[in-house]
Amino acid sequence: MGAIDIPELQFTPIEEIQERVSRVKKTFLEHKTRDVEFRLVQLRKLYWAIKDHEQQIVEALRSDLGKPQFETEVSESVWLENDIVFISKNLHKWVKDEKADDIDLTFKFMNPKIRKDPLGTVLLTLGPVLGAIAAGNTVVIKPSENAPKSAVVMQQIVEAALDPSCYTIVQGAIPETQALLAERWDKIFFTGGATVGRIIAKAAAPHLTPVVLELGGINPAIISKSANPRLVARRLLWGKLMNAGQVCTSQNYLLVDRSLVPAVVEEFKKAYKEFYPNGAKASPDYARIVNEGAFRRLKGMIDNSQGKILMGGTMDEKDLFIEPTLVQVESPDDSMLVQESFGPLIPILPVDNIDEAINIANSIQSTPLGLYPFGSKADTEKILSQTRSGGVSVNDAALHIPTLPFGGVGESGYGAYRGRASFDVFVHRRPITSSPGWLESILAIRYPPYAGKLAKFKAASVSAPDFDRSGRKVHLGWLRYILTLGGGSAKAGAGRAAVVAAGES
């Protein structure tokens, strides 16, 4: 197959941005995207457009990141295609009104339910667009200008597949992004770094626009003395090889029980030789750093470290190549630990025990996107019980099942998507009740004049606690439970029974 020519990235003229946004907002208010079949047709057409552009996606990511075809297909095109198939099979089930749970008997006659309403017009990048379409929103997509070939292919896919009155793409850098953020949105979904995430959240605040932030984090791997050194090394090295470590879920540093450090280091060296017999630079299976700025930032982290390089360490700025680099550091304040690398750096800090590791991890960043505990069930459960994170892979690195909710907490962001969560994050769960006319005789208790009505209202409505003043739970006998229709005094039960009788008359 011949070389694929991908055009240069053309920024959207700033004067066009407001008109594009207005167009998709107008379409939403015409209710075009409310129709579930319309949404499904859009998603199906998007599936085939991604299929048709698979080679362009491979070439774009090779050009932008030196990304191997295997990684591109596994983590980009196949992931998106599978997500569309999953959504298509489940969307009719997801959009159905839900019967409201845990409703008191008094209110059951009002047919309480939850409807999933689209939010409106949303701003995002390509990953979450599937959920936004499925949920019935109109969408403006803003790709990252840091991956220009990928941004061009994204535009080709969107324009080949999607209705332009509902879904549009805006290309650009800071000025174009600022123009977009000046608009009023119904939701903004941002994936990137915490610095830009704060700018997005600040820009959204004046309009009270809800924001989902997927920000990555300074993710720790905690290696207890019960861990298997070979699994630790192979799995965590793989976590740093995907896209040369430029993955928000890859571990930022390892806290390793001191007794296990020599064995873990030895296994890293073995795994590196096995994965790259001729070294990473000569391998077709190893990506490059996205741009010069990111390269220099990573180089600075290594240069400023007090640690000792145990494996790798070679760099070539012209080629934007940084070898997977294993460094043993001696302080939690080392530059390799306290900054998010977003690159192929693997610092190891020896620790005396799990408690020390947990304290260090919580002090560096207490809410990372990912946490990777290795060891026995007891050890990993202890780590889980004393830490927080967006997600956890026990005895593995950066693993995420595609249909599980994915998102951060605290410093690593908020909101989640993937699978069903991609739909849920773009809908408003709208409670709806319907009060039939025949309920009027019961509802009349709420109208003035109120004289004599409060005791009746309490008899029918007040819930008796199932706990005493010291906070201990009180267990009701089964006979009393039946006689009081669910707890409380006999009088309250009689009141409830009266409501039931009135409803059946």
Residue-wise over 360-389: b if at least 16 C-beta within 10 A, else e?
bbeebbebbbbbbbbbeeebbebbeeebbb
Return the H-helix or E-strand segment holding 131.
helix 129-134
Residues 6+ apart with CB under 8 A from 242: 71, 75, 250, 398
Predicted pLDDT of residue 488: 53
23: buried, middle or exposed (CB in 10 Å: 19+, 13-18, 0-12)?
A: middle
Q: Are 377 and 394 in contact (CB under 8 A)?
A: no
155 & 75 share domain: yes
Rounded to an integer, what distance in angstroms lies between the CA atom of residue 84 and that of residue 427?
A: 18
Can you count the helices (H) and strands (E) in the chain?
A: 20, 20
d(CA 217, CA 11): 30
Contact between residue 103 and residue 321 where contact means Cβ atoms under 8 Å apart: no
Say whether both 254 and 203 belong to one domain: no
Integer Cα distance of 161 and 49 in angstroms: 6
Beta pairing partners, 254: 221, 348
Per-residue pLDDT at 485:
53
Residues 234 and 374 in one domain: yes
Render each residue's pLDDT in the chain as its tens digit; 505 residues. 456 899 999 999 999 999 999 999 999 999 999 999 999 999 999 999 999 999 999 999 999 999 999 999 988 999 999 999 999 999 999 999 999 998 888 788 899 999 999 999 999 977 799 999 999 999 999 999 999 999 999 999 999 999 999 999 999 999 999 999 999 999 999 998 889 999 999 999 999 999 999 998 899 999 999 999 999 999 999 999 999 999 999 999 999 999 999 999 999 999 999 999 999 999 999 999 999 999 999 999 999 999 999 999 999 999 999 999 999 999 999 999 999 999 999 999 999 999 999 999 999 999 999 999 999 999 999 999 999 999 999 999 977 788 999 999 999 999 999 999 999 999 999 999 999 999 998 899 999 999 999 998 888 888 889 899 999 999 866 655 555 555 555 555 555 555 545 444 4
Local structure of residue 128 (DSSP, 8 states):
T
Phi-psi region of 41 (alpha: psi -120 to 50; beta: other; left: phi over 0): alpha
Residue 503: predicted pLDDT: 43
List of residues 6+ apart from 29 with CB closer than 8 A: none
Q: What is the pLDDT of residue 170?
A: 97
DSSP state of 107: G
Quick one: 271 and 345 in the same domain?
yes
**What's residue 159's pLDDT?**
96
Peptide bond preceding 344: is omega within 30 degrees of 0, i.e. cis?
no
Is residue 446 assigned to a domain?
no
Residues 280 and 240 in one domain: yes
Rounded-to-integer distance, Cα 417 and Cα 124, Å? 12
Q: How far apart (Å, rounded) are the C-alpha atoms in residues 219 and 238? A: 15
| Position 195 in a domain | yes
Residues 217, 398: contact at Cβ < 8 Å? no
Q: Is residue 410 part of a domain?
A: no
CB distance 50 to 80 below 8 Å: yes
**254 and 162 share a domain?**
no
Amino acid 55: pLDDT: 96
* Neighbouring-strand partners of residue 168: 140
Do 469 and 377 fall within a single domain?
no
Residue-wise DSSP of 322-374 = E--EEEE-S-TTSHHHHS---SSEEEEEEESSHHHHHHHHHHH-SS-SEEEEE
Q: Are residues 388 and 243 in the same domain?
A: yes
Q: Describe the chain by its helix, strand, coil percentages, rounded to 5.
A: 50, 15, 35
Catalytic sites, residue numbers? 214, 248
The domain boundary residue, chosen from 400, 418, 436: 400
Flag whether 377 is in a domain: yes
Query: What is the predicted pLDDT for the residue at 44?
Result: 98
The structure tokens 């004067």 sit at 15
The dihedral region occupied by 502, where left means phi > 0, alpha psi between -120 and 50, and beta the remainder, is alpha
CATH number of the CATH domain containing 201: 3.40.605.10
Residues 280 and 361 in one domain: yes
Cα distances (Å, whole numbers) of residue 255 to 196, 353, 379, 411: 29, 9, 14, 20
Q: What one-letter code names the amino acid at 376?
A: S
pLDDT at 105: 80
**How distant, in Å, are the alpha carbons of 175, 271, 274, 357 from that of 267?**
48, 6, 10, 21
- Domain contains 438: no
Give the residue numbers spanning the domain of 470.
Answer: 464-504
Domain closes at, from 400, 428, 446: 400
Here the CATH number for the domain that contains residue 312 is 3.40.309.10
Q: Per the domain annotation, does 375 fall within a domain?
A: yes
* Sequential DSSP letters for 381-440: HHHHHT---SEE-TTSSS---TTS-EE--GGGEE-EESTHHHHHTTEEEEEE----GGGH
Instruction: Specify whether the CB–CB gap between 166 and 32 falls below 8 A.
Output: yes
Q: Does 235 lie in the same domain as 162? A: no
Angle at 230 between CA 405 and CA 219, to 5 degrees: 35
User: pTM of the full predicted structure?
Assistant: 0.90
What's the angle, vertex CA 209, arms to CA 208 and CA 210, rounded to 5? 115
pLDDT for the residue 107: 87
Number of domains forming the structure of the chain: 3
pLDDT value at position 460? 81
My answer on whether 238 and 360 are in the same domain is yes
**Position 422 in a domain:** no
* 290 in Cβ contact with 311 (< 8 Å): no
Give per-residue burial for 62-86: e unless 16+ CB within 10 Å, then b: bbbbbbbbebbbeebbeebbebbeb
Residue 312 lies in a domain: yes
Longest alpha-carbon distance in the chain: 90
Task: Provide the token pair at 341.
Answer: 């690398």
**pLDDT score, position 495:** 52
Of the residues 215, 238, 255, the one at which a domain ends: 215
* Residues 192 and 99 grouped into a single domain: yes
